[in-house]
């Protein structure tokens, strides 16, 4: 019996991209972007434990990405079911006092698009080479993940062109409000306690400010804070990635949750994430299994 390769498998763009160390910066960039949607920012500030347990919240989000990318099909589906159950139970109030559900399709779609757009654009900018057709393939693959949290796959952008059209359509609804400011301050300099607070001196310039500078220009304009120059941000991002890549892969992949290492143990060394698995041009443009 062949081992379960999961929702997307080793031949997917997702399998290679999500194993890159630049994903840690990309994840923070996605949170800056998400905060520009009034409902997304309100849902985080009103319901999340991000101020009480910032590291735990970020690790739980990273764990979901890890298990849906590298876990078995059953593990990925179970993770999706847990997220749907949590979202079903959550409500928040907007600035006009209207109660809204956290699992409203418009909100789920925004969070999904902000995440996957940030993942692929930041990791690509960090030096992970992808052809445009492979970017389209990545977005198409991520429709499977969007379905796990309750979206209809056909409603989710499945190419770079569709993603650009989505952002163009939603931009008039985005703004930087009071809740966005709370999220921004948290991401820029988290109020950490204990031993981890000693890392803040490095975190703020190398993660907080850098991740912000990697936002699209229109998102920076909405936030209204001055970023690093584009050249500075790119050099810093590529330098951090180079340092991270110097760490043995099996050590890097212990976090979060060791999902990559377990996938390789389950499927064999041939499943080790590598751009070489994307070199077969016959795979480009094919839909995920």
* Within-domain flag for 284: no
The DSSP 8-state label assigned to residue 151 in this structure reads -
Please, what's the largest Cα pairwise distance for the chain? 56
Give CA–CA dist 21/126, Å, rounded.
9
Give CA–CA dist 98/20, Å, rounded.
41
Give strand pairing partners of 101: 91
* Within-domain flag for 21: yes
Task: Give the residue numbers spanning the domain of 200.
Answer: 13-277
* Within-domain flag for 283: no
CB-side exposure of 258: number of CA atoms within 13 Å?
Answer: 5
Provide the pLDDT for residue 286. Answer: 43
* Within-domain flag for 139: yes
Give CA–CA dist 124/170, Å, rounded.
24
Mean pLDDT per block of 10 residues along the chain (289 residues) reads 92 98 96 97 80 73 96 98 90 83 94 99 98 98 98 98 99 96 91 67 92 98 98 98 97 93 97 84 40
Provide the pLDDT for residue 243. Answer: 98
Provide the pLDDT for residue 283. Answer: 39
Provide the pLDDT for residue 96. Answer: 79
* Within-domain flag for 3: no
* Within-domain flag for 268: yes
Q: What is the DSSP string of 228-253?
A: PPHHHHHHHHHHHHHHHHTS-HHHHT
* Within-domain flag for 23: yes
- Of the candidates 289, 281, 260, the one whose C-alpha atom is nearest the C-alpha of residue 15 is 260
Token readout for 289 is: 């299994």
Tally Cβ neighbours within 10 Å of residue 134: 20
Do residues 261 and 214 touch, judged by C-beta distance below 8 A?
A: no
99-101/91-93 β-pairing: antiparallel
Tally of domains within the chain: 1
Backbone angles phi, psi at 41, to 5 degrees: -65, -40
Provide the pLDDT for residue 289. Answer: 39
Token readout for 211 is: 């991740």
* Within-domain flag for 195: yes
Provide the pLDDT for residue 93. Answer: 84
Provide the pLDDT for residue 126. Answer: 99
- Of the candidates 206, 238, 221, the one whose C-alpha atom is nearest the C-alpha of residue 21 is 238
Provide the pLDDT for residue 182. Answer: 92
């Amino acid at each position: 019996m062949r081992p379960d390769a999961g929702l997307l498998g080793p031949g997917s763009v997702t399998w290679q991209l999500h194993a890159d160390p630049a994903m840690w910066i990309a994840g923070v960039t996605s949170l800056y972007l998400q905060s520009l949607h009034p409902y997304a920012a309100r849902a985080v500030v009103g319901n999340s434990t991000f101020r009480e347990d910032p590291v735990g919240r970020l690790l739980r989000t990273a764990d979901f990405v890890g298990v849906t990318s590298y876990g078995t099909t059953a593990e990925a589906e179970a993770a999706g079911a847990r997220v749907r159950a949590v979202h079903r139970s959550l409500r928040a109030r907007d600035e006009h006092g209207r109660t809204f559900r956290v699992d409203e399709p418009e909100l789920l779609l925004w969070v999904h698009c902000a995440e996957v757009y940030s993942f692929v654009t930041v990791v690509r900018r960090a030096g992970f080479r992808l052809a445009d057709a492979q970017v389209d393939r990545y977005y198409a693959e991520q429709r499977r993940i969007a379905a796990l949290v309750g979206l209809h796959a056909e409603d989710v952008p499945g190419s770079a062109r569709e993603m650009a059209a989505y952002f163009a359509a939603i931009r008039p609804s985005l703004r930087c409000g009071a809740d966005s400011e709370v999220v921004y301050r948290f991401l820029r300099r988290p109020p950490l306690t204990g031993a981890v607070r000693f890392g803040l001196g490095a975190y703020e310039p190398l993660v907080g400010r850098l991740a912000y500078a990697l936002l699209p220009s229109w998102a920076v304009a909405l936030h209204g804070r001055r970023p690093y120059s584009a050249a500075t941000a790119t050099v810093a991002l590529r330098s951090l990635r180079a340092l991270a890549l110097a760490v043995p892969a099996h050590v890097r992949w212990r976090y979060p949750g060791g999902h990559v290492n377990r996938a390789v143990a389950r499927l064999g060394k041939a499943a080790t994430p590598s751009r070489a698995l994307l070199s077969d041009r016959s795979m480009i443009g094919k839909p995920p299994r």
